[in-house]
Homo-oligomer: A and B are copies of this chain.
């Protein structure tokens, strides 16, 4: 590459006119080799585009490979695993759930498309070789310890979701023993992408987008082999670079509340893709939003306990998804909340979570005093809960009947969730605003020619921390990665072919 005086920086687009010599030309450049990038590259290549994929690290993976590989799937009557387990998952229930999961931020167009196409997306994943055993686990878990497929990975059975969307388990996990199926997911997608002819460059970091005078994206600067190369794209660039949870400065700037959580989940996830999108006019939305969880179950028996904040009040129905509960924990005043349990349901949470047993007593009044609560606060909350639970109801927070039991079998105990010492993972949910096609929208709400994005570099299906369910991010990455790949391949394909 020879340019005038280019100082590459993701925040600043390079003018195409300043590129004296292009180092490489391709139809489509995909940036990032996690699940989103792999799916985008694969679909674009299968649609006939010449695809070059640039990955900053030394191999595929991204945050996708660090995950459990869980994908949120259902609708259209249910996947084979859902149907085998007796769940007929209607599209309208999936759609209603996803809309609620987006909260005020929900993207109706993406939700609607995904709800309709989710079962077909499952079939597509299977066709790529993603293995599913098809078996169901009813017990509460984060991910299966086994190689089973289907788990409850959200708040489907919990109020208020259960009121508006018939519950079904929708977390689909690969046939892979134990946690960590995300690696196998990406490996499978990588193999297909390579078979489809995607030209993969690793140790190749995208540094800046290249735009023409009309604002269209026509290329990308990539640092590779110790120098910066100018890559011209005939059809477009797909950003699939992940979120910004590893960029402390961006988190501080945009999502400072996430700093209450100690453990970002990411690999590179430095926000560079968001900055690149903004550099050509792309709009970032909901940058304050993040997922967090402190994995406080299994054991599922703990769901029968009750959470209280420093006011001694409950603040959520405890049968919600662990991440929804954790997001509510982060919103409470102070730095601690407690899970109150009796002897009948007590069990130790996973070591990983760093949740300590901090008080034990023969009565709730004793626990109350031991924790330093004023008399008649925490104990009153438990008494009220117990009186209702004995009747099988929770009129305060509407915990489902199956999780209700009076906490009256002493001794009694409090497990402490401490934002300063417990494990709270997080990743960011804000990012570039895109159409379901992956087209990146500018600040006027119009698509930027030649620029596409998918996965956590975008604000996708999951966009509200309190509504997150496991598998939503990978559902978004894989499905909307595919959409972006198809859309970019179709862009100007006729002209491109004519020119060849």
**Chain A residues in the interface with B (C-beta under 8 A):** 9, 11-12, 104-105, 160, 215, 249, 253-254, 256-257, 259-260, 275, 278-279, 281, 283, 285-289, 311-314, 333, 373-374, 376-377, 380, 384, 387-388, 393, 395-397, 433, 442-445
Question: Are the C-beta atoms of A313 and B312 separated by less than 8 Å?
Answer: no
* Residue among A11, A397, A443, A444 with most chain B CB within 10 A: A443
Question: Are the C-beta atoms of A311 and B397 separated by less than 8 Å?
Answer: yes
Told that A374-B393, A374-B395 touch, could you supply 16 new A-B pairs with CB distance under 8 A? Answer: A9-B444, A11-B442, A11-B444, A104-B260, A105-B256, A253-B285, A279-B443, A286-B288, A287-B288, A288-B288, A311-B397, A313-B314, A373-B395, A376-B384, A376-B388, A380-B380
Shortest CB distance A16–B (Å): 14
Number of chain copies forming the complex = 2
Q: How far apart sit A311 and B387, CA to CA, in the bound complex (Å)? A: 15
Please name the residue on chain B nearest to A282 by beta carbon: B278
Question: Are the C-beta atoms of B313 and A249 separated by less than 8 Å?
Answer: no
* Residue among A313, A373, A393 with most chain B CB within 10 A: A313
Set B257, B393, B433: member contacting A104, Cβ < 8 A: B257
Please name the residue on chain B nearest to A15 by beta carbon: B213
Q: How far apart sit A202 and B500, CA to CA, in the bound complex (Å)? A: 56
Shortest CB distance A457–B (Å): 14
Shortest CB distance A273–B (Å): 12
Shortest CB distance A211–B (Å): 12
Q: How far apart sit A333 and B11, CA to CA, in the bound complex (Å)? A: 39
Q: How far apart sit A44 and B289, CA to CA, in the bound complex (Å)? A: 39
Shortest CB distance A284–B (Å): 8
Q: How far apart sit A490 and B429, CA to CA, in the bound complex (Å)? A: 41
Shortest CB distance A242–B (Å): 17
Enumerate chain B residues within 8 angstroms of A257, measured Cβ to Cβ. 104
Please name the residue on chain B nearest to A393 by beta carbon: B374
